[in-house]
Amino acid sequence: MRTLYCARLALASALLIPYAPRVCAQSVDEEDLALTYGDKSTISIATGSKQQISRAPSVASVITAEDIKAMGATDLDEVLETVPGIHVGHAAGSYSSLYIIRGIYSQNTPQTLVLQNGIPITTLLLGTKGGIWGGYPVEHIARIEVIRGPGSALYGADAYAGVINIITKSAADTPGTQFGARDGSFNTWDTWIQHGGKLGSIDVATYLRVGHTDGFNGTITKDAAQPAVSLAPGPVNAGRDALDANLDFAYDKWRLRGGYKLRDDVGTYAGVASALDPVGKGKSERITADMSWTDPRFAQNWGLGFVASFLHYTQQVSTPLVLFPPGTVFSGTFTNGMIGAPETWERQVRLSTFATYTGFADHNLRFGFGHDDLNMYKTAEHRNFTYAPSGLPIAQPDVIDFSDSAPFLRPNRRKVDYFYTQDEWHYAKDWTLTAGVRHDRFSDAGNTTNPRLALVWDAAYNFTAKLLYGTAFRAPSFAEEYSITNPVAAGNPDVRPETIHTTETAFAWQVRRDMQVNLNLFRYAMKDIIRAVPNATPNTGSTIQNTGNQHGQGFELETIWDADRNLRLSGNYAHQRSIDEATTQDAGYAPHTHVYLRADWRYANGWLLSTQGNWVADRKRAAGDNRPNVSDYKTMDITLHRQTKGDQWHFMAAVHNLFNADVREPSLAPGSIPNDLPMPGRWYSLQADYQF
C-alpha cells in the first residue's frame, strides 16, 4: 500500500518535475524548512487582515526573505519572475521593468499596482513605479505578497492585472546588525548595513545600501535612427549609481517609517526614442514617509486604524538626452543631435482610515475611507527643437528652455476620494463568502465603482476550492491626459479609466504534508482600453482615446514537494492567450507559456545548492507587426550558499544564465528596434555578509 502511495506521489510531481527522484519522504523537519523558506502560509494583502493563504479570497503568492536568500536573487525583478503568471519584461528607455501578469501587456504596463508596505509607489507621469526605476534591492525585504487578478475593490486605481506588496523589514526581522557586500559582472558592486534593536521602549530598524554597475554590454543591431546617421550596431547605454536608506520606528500601536531611494546616472539603454544614445543619463529621487496607528481591539467587537503617507518623487536628466543622433534630418539638420530634457517633480499625500466589526455572528466587516492628493507641482523641459503643424520637429540652433512657453506637460493635480466596505461571511461550515465594493471619485477622470465576490470552500481537510469574481480599473496617467507637445500621442483630458472583469477558479490541494499543488484558471475581459489613435488628418500624429477591447484566459499550475528534509523541488507552469477584439488577433508580446523549475539541496551541514530553470515561450507579435515572433529562451541559474556555524557568516556564489542563452524582450510595434531588446548573457555574483 505504501509503495502504491509513493507511486501516486511521484506521478503527481511529474506534472512539473519530470526528472524528480522517485522517493517517498519519510519525514520533513518543519522547523528547518521554516528557517530556510520562512512563513509562506499566511497573507494580509487579500483582505487587509492576516489569514491563511489557502483560504484567502484571491489567487495569491508569498515570497519570504528566507526564500529570496535561498534562490540567490539580487533584485526584485529576479524574484517576481519566479511567481506563477508573472513575467518581467523591459521597456526600451532605461530598460525599466514591466510586471506583466496573465498576458496584460502595454508600453509601460501600468496595469500592475506596486505597493510598499501597503502604500502605492505609483508615479503620475506614466502611472507606473517610475520611468527611471533602476532596480530594487532585496536585502531589506521581509516578504512580498502578490495577488494575481483584480484588486480595485480594496486598493483602487491600477490594481487591475494584479497587486504586488513589498513589505520591508522591521526590528523583529533584523535582530542585531548585519554587514554585507556583493561583487559581480559588469563592474557591479553593492554594500549594505542593516540593524534591528531597541531604543528604550521603541523598536528600531535601519538600512543603508550603496551600489553601482556599469551595466551589461548588449548590442542593438538596428534602431529607430535614420540609417545614414544611426549608431547601430552599438552597445546599450547601461549603468547606474544607487543609494537606498530606510528607517522604521515602532512603539505600541504606532509605527513611523521613512525611506530614500536615489538612482543617478541611469543610462538610456536602447534610447528613450528607441535610438541609441551613448551619453544621455537620467536621475530619479524618491522620498517616502508613512505613519500608522492600529488597534484591533479598540472596543468590544471593533478595531480601528489609520495611515498617513507622503511621497516626493523627482525625475530629472543628469546629462541631456540625445533622442536621435547628430546628422538627423527632419525639418532641418540636427547637427548636434535631437536633444531633449523633460523633467517632473511631484508630491503625493495619502490619508486613509479603516474600521473592523465582528459583532455579528459569522461576519467580519471592514469599512474604509480615504483621500489622495496627487500633485505634479512642477515640470521642466529643455530641447533644441519645436514642432511643425504636421508634427515634424524643427531644428533650433541652441537648446532652449520651454518650461513656461511650450513644455511637454504642465503641472497638474489630481484628488481622489474613496470609500469601501467588505464582509467575510462564514455562512456555513467550511464555506466563506467575501463580498466587497469600493467607490472612487476622481477630480479629473470621473467616478468608478468596483465590486468583488469570492466563495471559498474547504472541501476536505487538505483541499480548498475558490470561485472568484471582480472588476478593476486603471486611471489614465498624466501623460495620457495632459501631454501637450508630444507629436506621437497628444493627451486627452476626457479620457476615462479602462476597466476589466475577471472570473477565476482556484484549487489548493495539500497532497500530503510534504507536497502542495495549486491550480488556478482565469478569464478576463478588458474594456475602454486607453490607446493612441491616429488623427483624422494624415501626418498629424495621434491622440489618446478610450478604444478597443481585449479578452484572455489561461491557467497556472504550481507544486512544491519536500522530497526529504534536505531536498525541495518546486515549479510552476503558466499558460495564457489574449485576443485583441478589434483585430481578432493575439494581443501580442506576452509569453503564452512560462515554466519555472527549482531544486534546493542542503547536501551538507551549512551548505545549500539552488538550481533554477526558466523557460519563456510563444510570444506573438501584435496585429500590424509583421516581424517573426519573439524568440523563446531557456535560462538556468545556479547558487551555492555556505552558512558558518553559529549563522554569523553567510557566503553566496551565483552564476546566472549559465549557458549564455540569447535572451530578448520585445520591442513594440512598429518595430523601431527590429531585433528586440537584448538582455544580459552569463553573469556572476559573489556575496558575503556577517551577522552579529
* Number of domains comprising the chain: 1
What is the reported pLDDT for 536?
A: 73
**Cβ neighbours, 10 Å, residue 455:** 16
| Cβ proximity of 180 and 689 under 8 Å | yes
The pLDDT score that the predictor gives to residue 1 is 41
DSSP for residue 552: E
Q: Containing domain of residue 342, as a range?
A: 2-691
Q: Which three cell numbers stand for residue 540?
A: 498629424
Give the pLDDT score at 689: 96
pLDDT of residue 296: 94
Quick: pLDDT tens for 343-361: 999 999 999 999 999 999 9
With CA atoms as reference, report the closest residue to 672 among 221, 279, 103.
221
Task: Identify the pLDDT of residue 30.
Answer: 54
Closest by alpha carbon to 304, among 255, 367, 250, 258?
A: 367
Do 658 and 637 meet the contact criterion of CB atoms below 8 Å apart? yes
Q: What are the φ and ψ backbone dihedral angles of 265, each rounded to 5 degrees?
A: 50, 45
Positions in the chain short of pLDDT 70? 1-36, 487, 537-540
Contact 114, 164 (CB under 8 A): yes
Containing 331, the helix (H) or strand (E) segment is none
> How would DSSP label each residue in 631-683?
PPEEEEEEEEEEE-TTS-EEEEEEEESTT----EEPPPTTTSSTT-EE---SE
**The pLDDT value given to residue 31:** 55
Give residue 3's pLDDT. 41
pLDDT at 538: 64
Q: Identify the CATH number of the domain in which residue 129 sits.
A: 2.40.170.20
Query: Which pTM value belongs to this model?
Result: 0.93
109 CB neighbour count, 10 Å cutoff: 24
Assess contact for 599 and 569: CB atoms under 8 A.
yes
Q: What residues have CB less than 8 Å from 62, skipping those under 6 apart?
A: 40, 41, 42, 43, 53, 143, 144, 145, 146
Q: Residue 601, class by beta-carbon neighbours within 10 Å (0-12 exposed, 13-18 middle, 19+ buried)?
A: middle
